A and B are shown apart, each in its own frame.
Chain A
């Protein structure tokens, strides 16, 4: 009797144990290699995961590794191929079209409309002080080097390498890489300084709207402007906005994997490159207006002094403000007016 019971209970246990993997196997049935091939389904190795199944769970396949470098736990990240496609196909086109397009547009504008004339006068007015000019030129020269070394990452192997050969190109690219990585810091410092020094003069207001509606006086007529007109405010906010974005993505790339994983790093690189191209186009416009585009403009950043007539023509409200300040006598610095 007892042995029969024992036999029965053993049978029950055995059947349950045999049945359980079938249930588990059914759960894993979406494993394609198993459908119809292993009917008893009691082999956990056979029922285990495969690539196709794992990709349905997550966009990356990752597991566990015993080495301290945890990036190695990623087994397959197919996003690498998409990153490659954007970097090699879309990005050169975007950058090329945006930058060359801007150059062509500026050249066409110069040929058709010509240089905007400005009145001259012997009398000058101070436009930018020494510190503003120093900061601007530090930022600007860094930008030029950053732009060229940055473009080298995209176009260098296509345009420069066939000219100078792979060894010279490799050495030049190494230098460009150091220049890019280290000059980025004075650039970021300069952009932040510009933000603090000029933000109060760059808040958009109604006068800017009127300036825009009048076409900035480019198509004839006159538009009022304060210290910075609407066009300049656009440039300011572009530099600050793009500068911060480039700085953030750049720093993320300088400390790889400190903030994000491999997919995040791909995104950082793509954003950095795309915004960089737009930034270059915008600065080309800025360089044009500040040099060739408008007569008498360069002096503002060059020597800091502009012709009073130039200032009246382009920034009339600012001139009035400055002259009112001068006429109002020496300003009391930090001494409050007496109570009565």
Chain B
């Protein structure tokens, strides 16, 4: 079975935010909730780096571990999803996530922050595939149609790669060899406990 991962090639990312826009549009994500975002390091200086970051779907996900109601589950493709019906909006998953992926519809922690929302690798949630309930709660389910996440599909420079971990690592390695440099697979060490060796 494929082990799905994201790899953002920070040497190609131009901070166009197409990935962010694609995700927001496809899943009708409300304002204030950022499933995917672009973070720019050394902004305005030579060697400016931009990295597109969303949920990395970690191996041994810390969000799933700290959840007091165990609302997370990992699919056969190693995608980390959760159930908004069981979620109590406590906020622990945000503290545990190294990448700041969980998002909440409300700001204060009283009367519930609302149900946690995060990148689903475009594979919906526990509701039946392609149902309206699934779309309303989690967004569209592209993986069940055999498609890859829209953020990676829409990336203007093909900086953001999504797919089977080994395949995208291979693509990245080839790029690094061809151009002679590469800043590495950002977040892989923390998320998957492995780096892409070149």
Contact = CB atoms under 8 A, between A and B. Distances in A.
In-complex A–B contact (CB below 8 Å) = yes
Interface of A: 24, 28, 31, 33-34, 37-38, 43-52, 54, 61-67, 69, 71-81, 83-84, 87-88, 152-154, 156-157, 161, 166-167, 169-170, 173-174, 177-178, 181-182, 253-256, 262, 265-266, 269
Given A49-B42, A170-B69, A44 B100 contact: no
B167 to A, nearest CB: 22
Given A63-B41, A65-B40, A177-B90, A49 B47 contact: yes
Given A64-B43, A67-B34, 14 more contacts: A33-B198, A45-B181, A46-B11, A47-B47, A63-B40, A81-B96, A153-B68, A157-B70, A178-B112, A181-B110, A182-B110, A254-B108, A256-B107, A265-B91
A37 B51 contact: no
Nearest to B38: A65
B118 interface: no
Given A47-B47, A72-B39, A256 B91 contact: yes
A48 B69 contact: no
Contacts of A71: 100
Contacts of A167: 85-86
15 contacts: A33-B176, A33-B181, A46-B11, A50-B183, A51-B183, A62-B39, A75-B51, A76-B186, A77-B99, A80-B95, A177-B88, A177-B90, A254-B108, A262-B100, A265-B91
A182 B109 CA distance: 11
Given A28-B47, A256-B109, A156 B69 contact: yes
Given A38-B180, A65-B39, A67-B34, A173 B109 contact: no
Interface in B67-103: 67-71, 83, 85-92, 94-100
B32 A69 contact: yes
Contact of A80 (B47, B85, B97): B97
A59 B1 CA distance: 35
Interface in B14-48: 17, 32, 34, 37-43, 46-48
B98 A81 contact: yes
A266 B187 CA distance: 20
Interface of B: 11, 17, 32, 34, 37-43, 46-49, 51, 53, 62, 65-71, 83, 85-92, 94-100, 107-113, 176, 180-184, 186-187, 189-190, 198
B112 A177 contact: yes
A45 B11 contact: yes
Query: What is the predominant secondary structure among interface residues of chain B facing chain A?
Result: loop
Contacts of B99: 75-77
B21 to A, nearest CB: 12
B86 A33 contact: no
Contacts, number: 178
Query: What is the predominant secondary structure among interface residues of chain A facing chain B?
Result: helix
The 10 tightest CB contacts between A and B, nearest first, are: A48-B47, A170-B86, A46-B181, A84-B62, A44-B46, A50-B183, A63-B41, A80-B98, A63-B39, A44-B47
Nearest to B97: A80
A31 B47 CA distance: 12
Contacts of B111: 178, 181
